[in-house]
Amino acid sequence: GEQLQNAENLADETEYKLDRAARVLRGMTWAGWWANKFTRDVEPPEYATATTNSTLPPKVYDDVPPICSTAAQAVQNYHANLQVLESCETIEQKETCKVICDNMFQRAKREIATLQQRQETAQEGS
């Protein structure tokens, strides 16, 4: 029951993020910007829980220690943008999204390296 609801909420949130990113990418062209002006913006999903309705997104990294949260978020952002890259329709969108993905990949690598360095420093200190 609850796991299924959480999975549905996560799917809704992912779909929203992809739709929102596609709208942003479309807006990077003159025609896309114009189309966005005359279409309704993507609304975030509402999440149903067992007791109340909540508009908070599900926490994907509930079990991640706080020291790892920055690295986990960087990896999640990179992954989400890879999904956006796959849905790009024009060469211009793909090129723009690829630049963004490359930057996010580098950031994720830096965050993971920082985390590894902290771990090695902590082990040396013990």
Distance CA 105, CA 53 (A): 35
Specify the pTM: 0.50
| pLDDT tens by residue, 35-90 | 888 888 888 887 655 444 444 444 566 667 777 778 888 888 888 888 888 888 88
Q: What is the mean pLDDT of residues 8-30?
A: 83
| Encoded tokens for 106 | 């580098």
Contacts for 109-113: CB closer than 8 Å, 24+ residues apart: 110/74, 111/70, 111/71, 111/74, 111/75, 112/71, 112/74, 112/75
Angle at 59 between CA 16 and CA 18, to 5 degrees: 20
Distance CA 77, CA 93 (A): 18
